[in-house]
């Protein structure tokens, strides 16, 4: 599988990254191990996890995904072959991460988070340590389609980005992390991190992990130029829009065992006009002779703004389809057809 440079680092990551957030809740440890085995057999060398996982976040299952990744690397004795990414939570009222208090991006909380992640992952360092979501008040994903969605206020105790960045500087110097990434971030946020790094306050941001799919191309509006000119790699999550772009939820269907059926967490992809857009993209995929899941995954992989697409699966057939997207020949006709629907529907699910 093709490898691409992550930002300005020396890391070469596979164009497909294996996401892990269902392991420890929807998937067992054995199933997680089987998925990693298959992905690495196909040339994947990049794993993405988080202290938050598994999803949905619960105190009882928090950290389970990192433990599964750690046990796999230990059993396979392959830590040196894995580019390992995990994340620290931003500001959250959930109090089980730090044990007795809500979490923020302050020194004590970040140091606590990395030490716990390293213990669960059974390793002495993380290749890419990402801020899962900002501490400051921003809409989820940080890229709304209307200015009116931005909050009017700010938290009085908001931690300055410079202060947060200085903690990551400590972690790099201690050898606990190699590189820094952000996630669910805006163009202002990325540029502020880059500015502070240029002032010598910490490591340079190497990557940004944001949602990017047929229903949400907001990354292209401002962040694409930032990523291109500043060499910040997009790690695109949710290429199938939480499974909605497979068509399995069309016309209100709720298949047994599917994430939205189990957890009722699909509101991001149930916005006005989303259902109409999903049907149109599914029909378009079939007009090219491809199943919708394969088509949607191939779209993300084909876009020049994407360094690596983070795939996720709860079954081996789903994983096989996601991996097969790397073999799809994305044509000019496909791109023009997709762009035509995007002109019609825009980004209904930012």
**pLDDT tens by residue, 275-323:** 999 999 999 999 999 999 999 999 999 999 999 999 999 999 999 999 9
Q: Residue 292 falls within a domain, yes or no?
A: no
pLDDT at residue 152, rounded to an integer: 62
Q: How far is CA 47 from the centre of its chain?
A: 11
Average pLDDT over residues 148-169: 88
Instruction: Work out whether the CA dihedral 270, 273, 274, 276 comes out positive or negative.
Output: positive
Average pLDDT over residues 9-16: 98
- Closest by CA to 182, choosing from 141, 132, 237, is 132
Average pLDDT over residues 158-162: 96
- Cis? peptide before 52, omega within 30° of 0: no
Alpha carbons 119 and 116: distance in angstroms, whole number: 5
Residue 180 has φ and ψ, to the nearest 5°, of -110, 140
Q: Are 197 and 233 in contact (CB under 8 A)?
A: no
Residue linked to tokens 């938050």: 52
The number of folded domains in the chain is: 1
pLDDT at residue 100, rounded to an integer: 84
- Closest by CA to 205, choosing from 222, 225, 220, 185, is 185
What is the band of 143 on the pLDDT scale with cuts at 50, 70, 90? confident
Q: How far is CA 337 from the centre of its chain?
A: 26
Q: Are 50 and 23 in contact (CB under 8 A)?
A: no
Structural domain for 85, as ranges: 3-245+305-327
Q: Residue 293 falls within a domain, yes or no?
A: no
pLDDT at residue 147, rounded to an integer: 76
Alpha carbons 123 and 163: distance in angstroms, whole number: 26
Q: Residue 336 falls within a domain, yes or no?
A: no
Q: Residue 313 falls within a domain, yes or no?
A: yes
- Closest by CA to 263, choosing from 47, 29, 26, 37, is 26
Q: Residue 29 falls within a domain, yes or no?
A: yes
Residue 177 has pLDDT above 70, yes or no: yes
53 is catalytic: yes
The DSSP string of 280-346 is HHHHHHHHTT--HHHHHHHHHHH-TTEEEEEE--SSHHHHHHHHHGGG----HHHHHHHHHHHHHH-
**Residue 288: other Cβ atoms inside 10 A:** 15
Q: Residue 81 falls within a domain, yes or no?
A: yes
pLDDT at residue 183, rounded to an integer: 98
Per-chain mean pLDDT for the chain: 96
Q: Residue 151 falls within a domain, yes or no?
A: yes
What is the model's pTM? 0.96
Task: Determine the 3-state secondary structure of 164 from DSSP.
Answer: helix
Alpha carbons 215 and 121: distance in angstroms, whole number: 33
Average pLDDT over residues 207-233: 98
Alpha carbons 187 and 109: distance in angstroms, whole number: 25
pLDDT at residue 150, rounded to an integer: 67
What is the band of 145 on the pLDDT scale with cuts at 50, 70, 90? confident
Alpha carbons 342 and 319: distance in angstroms, whole number: 27
Q: Are 75 and 46 in contact (CB under 8 A)?
A: no
Q: Residue 55 falls within a domain, yes or no?
A: yes
Alpha carbons 91 and 135: distance in angstroms, whole number: 5
- Which of 53, 244, 249, 281 does the annotation list as catalytic? 53
Q: Are 259 and 266 in contact (CB under 8 A)?
A: yes
**pLDDT tens by residue, 323-344:** 999 999 999 999 999 999 999 9
**Which helix H or strand E contains 111, and what residues bound it?**
helix 107-121
The CATH number covering residue 148 comes to 3.20.20.100
């Amino acid at each position: 599988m093709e490898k691409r440079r992550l930002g300005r680092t020396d890391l070469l990551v596979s164009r497909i990254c294996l996401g892990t957030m269902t392991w420890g809740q929807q998937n067992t440890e054995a199933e997680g191990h089987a998925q990693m085995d298959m992905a690495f057999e196909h040339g994947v060398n990049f794993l993405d996890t988080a202290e938050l996982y598994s999803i949905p976040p619960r105190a009882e299952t928090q950290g389970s995904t990192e433990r599964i990744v750690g046990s796999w690397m230990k059993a396979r004795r392959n830590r040196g072959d894995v580019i390992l990414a995990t994340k620290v939570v931003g500001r959250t009222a959930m109090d089980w991460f730090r044990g007795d208090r809500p979490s923020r991006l302050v020194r004590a909380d970040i140091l606590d988070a990395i030490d716990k992640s390293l213990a669960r992952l059974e390793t002495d360092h993380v290749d890419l340590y990402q801020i899962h979501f900002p501490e400051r008040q921003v809409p989820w994903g940080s890229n709304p389609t209307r200015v009116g969605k931005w909050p009017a206020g700010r938290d009085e105790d908001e931690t300055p980005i410079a202060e947060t960045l200085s903690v990551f500087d400590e972690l790099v110097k201690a050898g606990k992390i190699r590189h820094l990434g952000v996630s669910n971030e805006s163009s202002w946020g990325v540029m502020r991190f880059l500015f502070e790094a240029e002032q010598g306050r910490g490591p340079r941001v190497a990557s940004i992990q944001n949602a990017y799919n047929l229903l949400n191309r907001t990354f292209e509006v401002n962040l694409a130029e930032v990523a291109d000119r500043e060499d910040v790699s997009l790690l695109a999550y949710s290429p199938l829009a939480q499974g909605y772009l497979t068509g399995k939820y069309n016309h209100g269907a709720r298949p047994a065992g599917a994430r939205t059926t189990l957890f009722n967490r699909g509101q991001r992809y149930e916005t006005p006009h989303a259902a109409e857009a999903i049907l149109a993209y599914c029909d378009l995929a079939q007009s090219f002779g491809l199943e919708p899941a394969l088509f949607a995954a191939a779209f993300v992989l084909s876009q020049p703004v994407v360094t690596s697409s983070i795939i996720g699966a709860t079954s081996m057939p789903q994983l096989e389809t996601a991996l097969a997207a790397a073999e799809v020949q994305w044509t000019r006709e496909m791109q023009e057809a997709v762009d035509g629907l995007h002109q019609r529907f825009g980004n209904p699910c930012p």
